[in-house]
Structure 1
Amino acid sequence: MTGSRTLTSGWHADLYERDGWQVALLAPEQDGFGDTQGLGDGLWQLVRDAKPPCLVLDMSRVTFLGSSMMGTLVQVHKRIAIAGGQLHLANLGEHPTEALHACRLHLILPLYATLDDAVK
């Protein structure tokens, strides 16, 4: 899937494929306070039919990661893992990286410095 897509209220993504991975350049409309539950459903819709579902979220435009967003990322990770796939997060800024580390979610969610590393 390629192009730009509204995932839910407050969230859209630029989509493309790279090395067998669906990549979503995630962009909040207002500092990440959109509908995070709807975002989880929208992200799952991107890869649910892929066998296996492999999704990289390019987080370079996400400047804030609140608790509801972190919960959504864990839920999407679980759905994809149950389906035999993988979720990778790439290009995280300082605050999102610190937030994930503070909650120890970096032990669950694979974090990558670059998109190149995430699709290897």
Structure 2
Amino acid sequence: MAEGRMTDTGQAEQAGGLSVVATATDGIRVLTLAGEIDHHTGDRLRHALDVTDAARPRIVIDMSRVTFMDSSGINILINAYQAVTDAGGWLRLAAPTDSVHRVLQLVGVDDVIACRPTLHEALTP
């Protein structure tokens, strides 16, 4: 992997079982999640994925520490994918846990949103 600059934006936040840490690597926003994505915690992720003011956003969501995701999380990811794509950018998922990856496969999200086995691969074009 080419060595890139990683910038911590200092946005580590916790909300009812979900932490979201936002950093940047070579102009790509990296959201590192830990915990559960559900109806109670989804707003934290939705807020972190807001691309209202971004031109051509590039976002990678590191899901290696997500232990659970329900339909609320699926809806957030699909809405974010649509917003990012409409803005001319892209969204990729990195290293989902086995249980989360099964959910993504069952509903076909992995056919729509690029899902890479590692963070490194998600950051690589």
Q: Secondary structure of the residue that 2:68 maps to in structure 1?
A: coil
Output one character per residue of 1:77-109: Cα deviation in whole Å (capped at 9) or x when no partner: 111111111111001000111111111111111
Give every structure 1 segment of 4 or more consecutive aligned residues whose post-TM-superposition deviation is greater than 4 Å. Answer: 7-10
Question: Given the alignment, which residue of 33, 41, 61 partners 1:35?
Answer: 41
The gaps in structure 1 that reach 5 residues or longer are none
Give the strand-richer structure, 1 or 2: 2
Which residue pairs with 2:18 in the alignment?
Answer: 11
The gaps in structure 2 that reach 5 residues or longer are 1-7
Q: Secondary structure of the residue that 2:44 maps to in structure 1?
A: helix
Separation in 2, partners of 1:87, 1:100: 14
Query: How many residues align structurally?
Result: 116
TM-score, L = length of structure 2: 0.80
Identity, % of aligned positions: 28
The alignment's C-alpha RMSD in Å is: 2.0
Which residue pairs with 1:90 in the alignment?
Answer: 94
Separation in 1, partners of 2:106, 2:12: 31
2:32–2:62 CA contact under 8 A, matched in 1? yes
